[in-house]
Amino acid sequence: MPYERPENSGYAFLSGGGEMGELIRSLDWSLTGLGAPGTWPVSLKQMVSMMLTTRLPVLICWGKDYIQLYNDAFHPINGADKHPKAMGGTACDTYAEIWGTIGAMFEEVMTGKSLGFPDFMVQLERNGSLEDCYFDFSYSPITDEYGHTGGVLVICMETTGKVNAISEFQALNEELAAVNEELAASNEEYAATNEELASVNEELATTNEELKETQENLHGTNRELLESGLRLRTALDTIIRSEKLFRSIAVNIPNSLILVIDKEHRYQLVDGDLMEKLGYQKADYEGKHPTEIGQTERYLASKHLYDRMMDGEKFSIERKAVTGEYYIAHFVPIKNEHEEIDAGLVMVLDVTDIKKGQEESAKLAAIIDSSDDAIISKTFESVITSWNDSAERMFGYTADEIIGETIYKIIPPDRYDEEPGIISRIKNGERVEHYETKRVTKDGRLLDVSLTVSPVKDKQGNIIGISKIARDITEKKLDETRKNDFIGIVSHELKTPLTSLTAMVQLLNSRLKNHEDPFVPNLLAKANIQVKKMNTMINGFLNIARLESGKIQLDKKDFDLTRLVNDIIDETKLISAGYTINSLSCNPIMVNADEDKIGSVITNLLSNAVKYSEKGTTIEVLCEIEGDVAQVSVKDEGPGIREEDIEYLFDRFFRVEDPGASHVSGFGIGLYLSAEIVHRHNGIIRAESEIGKGSVFRFSLPYK
């Protein structure tokens, strides 16, 4: 603890200031050039007071000796070497090592100037060695009460740390800069190398492009070469093909001879299947003149034709050979690409078939024209395509008027619906024969015609049209009507005496059945059967007459078909001894029909079965329901019917020509009448039969 004089501590201006304050107070300032503090000039006192309270490093150097006073903050600047001697010491002593620098500055300040420098470097000896110390400092004059500069106020901040840090930073920066420079240099090198590489690349790219171009050029040239090669090839192929084609056409035209000659009439081509027949032996004529190959005579006969052809004339001639064949020869001049005739084509064709065909068709046309029947052909669209003289006579239209027109012109409107049916049958390859209908003439008269319609086929069998033969049967129809009327009248007239005769025979029969001479009842029974037969026949004729004059009426009612069948079987059994007739039906089948007429159908089928079969055989009758129809079938073990006759069985007056059945009486009207009755009930009747195996007749009626 420094000695402290009581008088120093009493100065208010020396109070405070921490350690340095205490030191200042403890010093005997009278021993210094400053003298006792009480004697100090006011400005010094004030300055010392301010210094002691300032936290910034402050040094006061007073008087000409620059006696020093400093505060706590300044203490470290002096370090261990200079403190505490510096307090109260002279500045030139304390800072001897830098006095050369700062002394002059102090002197300048004493003249009233202020000085200051940032980061001012001085080498101070303060901690045992010389140190580079940096300061931000300010030297300012302290003016006394007389206006003179009494001392120097030094306020300074040591910046050694900062400066060192900055210089270290700078050094680092420099190093960095150097590294950077190096890097930049290597970068530049890189860049240079890169540039070199880029330029090498560019060169390569250019070279590549050049190569590509050259290659493309080569490709192009190649392509062109290839294309022209191909064109050449195609042209050649075309020529070869054309020649081959021409030759194959020539060879394949049936019944032909093909000659191609040049301007000098030399053969260029001789081919065709007529070669040998026409005196061209199979030799190589090509390039040779006809006179060189022994054809002189023929050549001289044809030369004028060759000349005409070579003069540009195209013509044809027709010849008949001594052997009877017809030939047509076409002469065609052939031009080259300059439109000059340099060759000629002679095509000889055997047209014998065509000629004969023409003759045939002329004959046929003559036949058609002279036919009494109208012969008409038409398309599937019903357009008339041919019309013979008879058609003209019959219908009144000329061929010119009607060809190309519709067939409906000669069909009465109420029969228009016939045509589609006929066409569809023809399309199926069927033939419609003797179809009786009505047609209308140009002047509106109705004709009864019998039509036979057939498909017209080409050589391959394809149906290409329809031919119609129409026969005018108006007269025949009138005849038939007259005949029917006659039959009707006669049958009617016959029926009355026959009814009386039947009654008489039956009466006699009952009266004389017990006659002593058995011959009498026997004969009467036979007479009864014959009378019955005659009755059936006359009834048949009457029915025909009624049917055809439209007088037959159906009297429909509900009845049991099975019962009717069984009743008729029972009746038949009575008059047909020697036959086994089996009824295979048991369940009642109710139908709505004309019982009498259906009964006559069943009777007819059953009596035919009996009539045409041998005694001792079996007949089976079946009545059944088949879907929505009631069906009756009569099966016998008779002789059977030929297939070709079956379709005519239901025609009027049709009887199978069978010498074996010549003893069987009949007019061929039973099945006709049966079919008419069944059809009028909207039913179907048909027969199945095989020679030697018997027959089955079947009819069906709608079943409700």
* Residue numbers at the binding site for ligand ADP (CB under 6 A): 604, 608-609, 612, 636, 638-639, 641, 649, 654-656, 666-672, 695
CB 451 within 8 A of CB 437: yes
Residues 6+ away with beta carbon under 8 Å from 386: 375, 376, 377, 399, 403
Q: Would you tell me how many other CB atoms lie within 10 Å of the CB of residue 266?
A: 17
Distance of closest approach, residue 639 Cβ to ligand ADP, in angstroms: 6
Least distance (Å) between residue 464 CB and ligand ADP? 38
Residue 501 Cβ, how far from ligand ADP at the closest point, in Å? 22
- The nearer residue to ligand ADP, 59 or 632, going by C-beta atoms, is 632
| Least gap, CB of 497 to ligand ADP (angstroms) | 23
How distant, in Å, are the alpha carbons of 278, 401, 439, 444 from that of 413?
Answer: 61, 20, 10, 12
Percent composition of the chain: helix, strand, coil (DSSP 3-state, to 5): 50, 25, 30
Instruction: Please state the closest distance from residue 583 (CB atom) to ligand ADP, in A.
Output: 17
- Write b or e for each residue in 333-349: b if 16 or more Cβ atoms lie within 10 A of its Cβ, otherwise e: beeeeeeeeebbbbbbb
Minimum CB separation of residue 493 from ligand ADP in Å reads 22
Q: Which is nearer to ligand ADP, 63 or 640 (CB)?
A: 640
**Residue with smaller CB distance to ligand ADP, 19 or 643:** 643
Cα-to-chain-centroid distance, residue 61: 117
Looking at the Cβ atoms of 256 and 607, the one nearer to ligand ADP is: 607
User: Residue 621 in 3-state DSSP?
Assistant: strand
Nearer CB in complex with ligand ADP: 412/666:
666
**CB-nearer residue toward ligand ADP: 443 or 657:** 657
CA angle 308, 310, 312 (to 5 degrees): 80
Name beta bridge partners: 594: 556
Distance in Å, CB of 621 to ligand ADP, minimum: 12
User: Least Å distance between CB 556 and ligand ADP?
Assistant: 24
Using a CB cutoff of 8 Å and minimum separation of 24, what contacts does 72-80 make? Answer: 72/17, 72/18, 72/19, 72/20, 72/21, 74/20, 74/156, 75/19, 75/20, 76/158, 77/124, 77/126, 77/133, 77/135, 77/156, 77/158, 78/126, 79/124, 79/126, 79/127, 80/126, 80/127, 80/128
Closer of 113 and 434 to ligand ADP (Cβ): 434
Place of tokens 């064709």: 349
Cβ proximity to ligand ADP, 57 vs 638, nearer residue: 638
Determine the residue with CB nearest ligand ADP: 666
> Shortest approach of ligand ADP to residue 603 CB, angstroms?
11
Q: How far is CA 652 from CA 203, 452, 494, 574, 608, in A?
A: 113, 18, 22, 29, 16
Alpha-carbon distance of 409 to 444, in angstroms, equals 10
